[in-house]
A and B are shown apart, each in its own frame.
Chain A
């Protein structure tokens, strides 16, 4: 027979210390300044030797409409027509992918979600490759690629939406599963197109597009992408409290006066439109939209009002530098941006995660 045992009852130990959060105003100020410095660096650095003094002078000339000497035209063109729009586009794309990554992760409550999990980017790839490989939409000229990418992104969105929809609305898991399935479907179509096209150079540019590149940046591509990203970001900031509620669960959101079905539908459309606009000008740049949201939460916590203020700036700075490295590392050969985002981002991410005891998805 078991002997009754009585030991003194210990008191429950206290919990872990509260998480450290960086104060917002200095962080935003610092990131804003870092972005400006990064943009200037991106314009100044490159394989064609343009001195810093010239770079700044050309930038000032371009911004204020000043004049330059005739023998400086080629250097000016490199700075003002190639490097500067490219740097701006990197910032816009980095900001957009990061903000949409935040929104999609909250929308489907899944730590592995990113702007591409909805199948939008691989849908865009189908359209882009139709142009790159078969010269589709040739009548649109320089706009053919981005128009085709954007149009097929929206078509992919519609397809995913219709396939994922249930009488109860868009449920998180179904959305992720449908998007992922479509991702493989669209990718198969793209691969098929690459293999059936017999032009080697076209296949290479298709590959470049799939891994993401900012090499196609022109003054024409920046404003449209910037407008889409800023509009989307504005909507997300306006919905930040609703995103907090949605992150807690659909029932909690409903009890807090937020209609989860309607919010998720709107977020889906915004995410798809912004992703489509960004992918149309830069291809499918991976990793930024997945990791920047997590890195931001490690720094400032999960409140979406803070996350959505910080993540776009962080993503912008990151992508500007990633693009600099991708241009310089093996110059004059340009590396796909996605390669560098992973090389820089993975160690950063692992280090931060181990240092700060981050526990997205429960401990």
Chain B
């Protein structure tokens, strides 16, 4: 499912946090959103998974205006992993994943056999079937993230929105989470902090600064030393990976003038 964002502006408490965003994610592509802290990444994504309403502009899924759909209909097409750490209640892993079926269920209806199958398959897919009976708050960071991905997959969406899904994870878990997401075959829109992870996992990158998109395209073409100095304020070296030859970035502080 293709995602088209056109002319999108979002205001929170009267402040315009993102302005006139244009972004396209082709069906099945992994599109990365990078930018410094406070640049508007999360605000833009919140608007895409409907936690905020746009002040102007549209988010289209295969042409349908997302904010014109009912909340349930939207949640059947698009799932998200927000950044909030949600572990206050003693839900089990199975209960968390079952929440992914919410947009498919009637309020009073019991969970169907099909709901059970979808949830079991989602847990299987992220390699967390053995955690089903565990209490969610007792899991490690990587396990939690896998379970939340399973919840998103249980929604059976076509589009997945991730807000910094690798935060607080060790390096092996970071790679695992991103390859899991890549392997799910969905259209993915993800905010990422680690530019090397973004460069290796994304089909296209959008760079956001001060609430506006300042560059976009294939990672290799976007992440130039000039742009990284201007947007992130760092001196970057592009070096080839010794085995694959793909470009990797090394960072130093910019020399102070």
Contacts and interface: CB of A to CB of B under 8 A. Distances in A.
B29 interface: no
Contacts of B92: 18-19, 21, 301
A249 B138 contact: no
A163 interface: no
Q: For chain A, which range describes its interface: under 10, 10 to 19, 20 to 34, or 35 or more residues?
A: 35 or more
Interface stretch (A184-192, A204-212, A252-260, A333-341): A252-260
A361 interface: yes
B137 A363 contact: yes
Nearest to B105: A241
Interface centre among B73, B88, B95 (most CB of A within 10 A): B88
Given A302-B91, A360-B89, A251 B137 contact: no
A166 B80 CA distance: 25
B84 interface: yes
B94 to A, nearest CB: 9
B46 A251 contact: yes
A106 B88 CA distance: 10
Interface in A225-261: 237-239, 241-242, 244-245, 247-252, 254-259
Interface centre among A109, A256, A359 (most CB of B within 10 A): A256
A257 B76 contact: yes
A361 B88 CA distance: 4
Contacts of A167: 13-14
Contacts of B152: 255
A106 B91 CA distance: 13
Q: For chain B, which range describes its interface: under 10, 10 to 19, 20 to 34, or 35 or more residues?
A: 35 or more
B138 A362 contact: no
23 contacts: A16-B134, A18-B135, A237-B108, A238-B107, A242-B107, A244-B91, A245-B102, A247-B88, A251-B46, A251-B49, A251-B83, A255-B51, A255-B78, A255-B81, A256-B75, A257-B70, A257-B75, A259-B71, A297-B90, A301-B91, A302-B90, A359-B138, A363-B137
Given A18-B135, A255-B51, A301 B90 contact: yes
B99 A256 contact: yes
Contacts of A251: 46, 49, 51, 80, 82-84
B86 interface: yes
Contact of A359 (B14, B103, B135): B135
A255 B157 CA distance: 11
A358 interface: yes
Interface of B: 12-14, 46, 49-51, 70-76, 78-84, 86-92, 95-96, 99-100, 102-103, 105, 107-108, 133-135, 137-140, 152, 155, 161
B126 to A, nearest CB: 16
B80 to A, nearest CB: 4
A172 B103 CA distance: 24
B91 A239 contact: no
Contacts of B91: 244, 247-248, 301-303
Nearest to A363: B137
Contacts of B90: 19, 297, 301-302, 358-360
Nearest to B74: A257
A244 to B, nearest CB: 6
A347 to B, nearest CB: 22
Interface in A322-360: 358-360
Interface in A1-55: 12, 15-16, 18-19, 21
A248 B88 CA distance: 8
A247 B96 CA distance: 11
Given A16-B138, A302-B95, A360 B102 contact: no
A244 B151 CA distance: 13
A251 B82 CA distance: 6
Contacts of B96: 248
A249 B139 contact: no
Contacts of B102: 241-242, 244-245, 256-258
